């Protein structure tokens, strides 16, 4: 499975509905950008989608979900924890197998930080931490990517490098993006979220930035 068809998605906090009810269908090969102002419900919608398609998805959560006490290698390796037996994961904690070391190092190389393989994650900058979470999603190599603001801590050239890498690696993707220009550049479908509902759903080629800014 690389696409999904979800309906009746809702979420409430403190008795107040913040999402839905809404339906979202994503077909194989689509690169979907969820856009809208902060608080519109993009992250909540991403969590709802992930709950439904968990095992089929590589996830980059906005809060990153890294274990600070572990080196970069082990944080990236976690992308495949559920694909190995417990003995394999235990051994990897102490003495990783060469194929896993090499695989993670290659991903870090593509993200411009191969020298950080054994560095404690707690010592990294915000942008480096974000790239570790991206490497973990790439290492999981699921057919579907769910990425919540994956380039928010990256500078211009690195943001483009990461978006291009994710676009090439995953056939089907859903990004929550605040940057409208990046959404238009790397996604082929724009879904605008406003007050917990879908207010816009169009092919990216039909839109320009000003069409989307009314959501902000």
120-171, pLDDT tens digit by residue?
Answer: 999 999 999 999 999 999 999 999 999 999 999 999 999 999 999 999 999 9
For 179-200, write each residue's pLDDT tens digit.
Answer: 999 999 999 999 999 999 999 9
Structurally, how many domains does the chain consist of?
Answer: 1
Q: How far is CA 54 from CA 74, 118, 122, 146, in A?
A: 21, 28, 27, 10
Phi, psi for residue 147 in degrees, rounded to 5: -130, 115
* pLDDT digit string, tens, across residues 37-93: 988 899 999 999 999 998 899 999 999 999 999 999 999 999 998 888 899 888 888
pTM, two decimals, is 0.93
Residue 1 pLDDT level (bands cut at 50, 70, 90): low
* CATH number of the domain within which 200 lies: 3.40.50.300
Domain that holds residue 135: 4-213
Q: Which of 175, 201, 205 is nearest to 190 (CA)?
A: 201
Task: Say if CB 175 and CB 32 are below 8 A apart.
Answer: yes
Mean of per-residue pLDDT scores for the chain: 94
């Amino acid at each position: 499975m690389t696409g999904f068809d979800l309906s009746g998605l809702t979420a409430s906090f403190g008795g107040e509905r913040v999402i839905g009810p809404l339906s979202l269908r994503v077909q194989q090969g689509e690169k979907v950008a969820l856009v809208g102002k902060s608080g519109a419900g993009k992250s909540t919608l991403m969590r709802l989608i992930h709950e439904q398609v968990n095992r089929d998805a590589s996830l980059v959560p906005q809060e990153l979900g890294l274990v600070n006490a572990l080196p970069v290698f082990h944080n990236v390796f976690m992308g495949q924890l559920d694909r190995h037996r417990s003995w394999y994961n235990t051994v990897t904690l102490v003495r990783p197998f060469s194929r896993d070391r090499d695989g993670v190092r290659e991903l870090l190389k593509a993200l411009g930080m191969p020298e950080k393989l054994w560095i404690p994650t707690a010592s990294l900058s915000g942008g480096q931490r974000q790239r570790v979470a991206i490497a973990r999603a790439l290492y999981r190599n699921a057919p579907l990517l769910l990425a919540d603001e994956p380039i928010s801590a990256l500078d211009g050239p690195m943001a483009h490098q990461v978006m291009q890498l994710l676009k090439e690696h995953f056939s089907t993707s859903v990004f929550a993006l605040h940057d409208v220009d990046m959404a238009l550049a790397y996604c082929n479908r724009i879904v605008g979220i406003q007050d917990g509902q879908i207010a816009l759903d169009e092919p990216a080629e039909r839109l320009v930035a000003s069409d989307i800014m009314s959501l902000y």
